[in-house]
């Protein structure tokens, strides 16, 4: 059955591949990107699937753009909301080099923005039978799996996102909305680099196996792209 899927961060990498795979398979896709006109790959994708994809300019850190997106969607429901937009922040920042503004910016993108976007679009997800919300997180946000340290800006933002996802899952369970956090693996993207183990196609194929069978039984859990549950 065809779904309506809204995806953030679609200009490249995982977001672009998510938009492609859902459109290819006949789903209705709202593809959001901060500057969509600067992504030739995204524009080409929309040209190839004009009936499936609607393109939206969205800086997830902008409250006014979030409200504009909500208006642009009219009365359309959302069956699956995928929060993919994210940033790593400055690399190689160690104790003694932490800086408030850079850290805050990582939290703005990775933690606050997906939650505030969820707040605005929640009524659309709630209007869908079996509506679901997926946060693309990272195993680096797992407290139990942190054996290496480092990358504090990114780790802390994803740990906070994980806590929020778990809390939302409990808050929304009675409304029948499934909420999960997903680790996409180490992916060959601008963030993951060329040494990564998975291509975006491989990662998204694995993520979709999880997303396509979401139900309230999975809500409030954190899953690896390969299917196993990750401890918080």
Separation in Å, CA 49 to CA 78, 141, 207: 19, 35, 21
At 136 the three-state DSSP class reads: strand
d(CA 216, CA 149): 33
Domain 4-224 = CATH 3.40.50.720 = yes
Kindly report the pTM of this predicted structure: 0.96
| Residue pLDDT tens, the chain, 232 long | 899 999 999 999 999 999 999 999 999 999 999 999 999 999 999 999 999 999 999 999 999 999 999 999 999 999 999 999 999 999 989 999 999 999 999 999 999 999 999 999 999 999 999 999 999 999 999 999 998 889 999 999 999 999 999 999 999 999 999 999 999 998 877 666 676 679 999 999 999 999 999 999 999 999 999 999 999 9
For residue 187, which of 139, 135, 149, 154 has the smallest C-alpha distance?
139
Cβ atoms within 10 A of the Cβ of 81, count?
A: 26
User: How far from 226 is each of 10, 170, 184, 210, CA to CA, in Å?
Assistant: 22, 24, 9, 9
H helices of the chain, in order, are 13-24, 40-48, 63-72, 100-107, 113-126, 152-172, 200-211
d(CA 199, CA 203): 6
Q: Model confidence over 96-146: pLDDT tens digits?
A: 999 999 999 999 999 999 999 999 999 999 999 999 999 999 999 999 999
Q: 153 in helix, strand or coil? A: helix
DSSP assignment of 157-186 equals HHHHHHHHHHHHHHHHGGGT-EEEEEE--S
């Amino acid at each position: 059955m065809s779904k309506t899927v809204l995806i953030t961060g679609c200009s490249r990498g995982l977001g672009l591949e998510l938009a492609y795979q859902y459109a290819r398979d006949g789903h209705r896709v709202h593809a959001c990107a901060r500057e969509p006109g600067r992504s030739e790959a995204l524009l080409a994708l929309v040209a190839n699937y004009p009936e499936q994809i609607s393109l939206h300019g969205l800086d997830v850190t902008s409250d006014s753009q979030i409200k504009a997106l909500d208006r642009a969607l009219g009365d359309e429901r959302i069956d699956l909301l995928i929060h993919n937009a994210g940033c790593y922040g400055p690399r190689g920042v160690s104790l003694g080099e932490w800086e408030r503004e850079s850290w805050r910016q990582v939290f703005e993108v990775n933690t606050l923005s997906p939650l505030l976007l969820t707040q605005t679009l929640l009524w659309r997800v709630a209007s869908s039978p079996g509506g679901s919300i997926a946060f693309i997180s990272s195993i680096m946000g797992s407290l139990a799996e942190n054996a290496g340290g480092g990358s504090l800006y990114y780790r802390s933002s994803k740990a906070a996102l994980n806590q929020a996802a778990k809390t939302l899952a409990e808050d929304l369970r009675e409304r029948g909305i499934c909420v999960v956090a997903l680790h996409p693996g180490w992916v060959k993207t601008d963030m993951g680099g060329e040494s990564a183990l998975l291509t975006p196609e491989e990662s998204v194929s694995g993520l979709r196996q999880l997303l396509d069978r979401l139900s309230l039984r999975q809500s409030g859990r954190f899953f690896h792209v390969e299917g196993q549950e990750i401890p918080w």
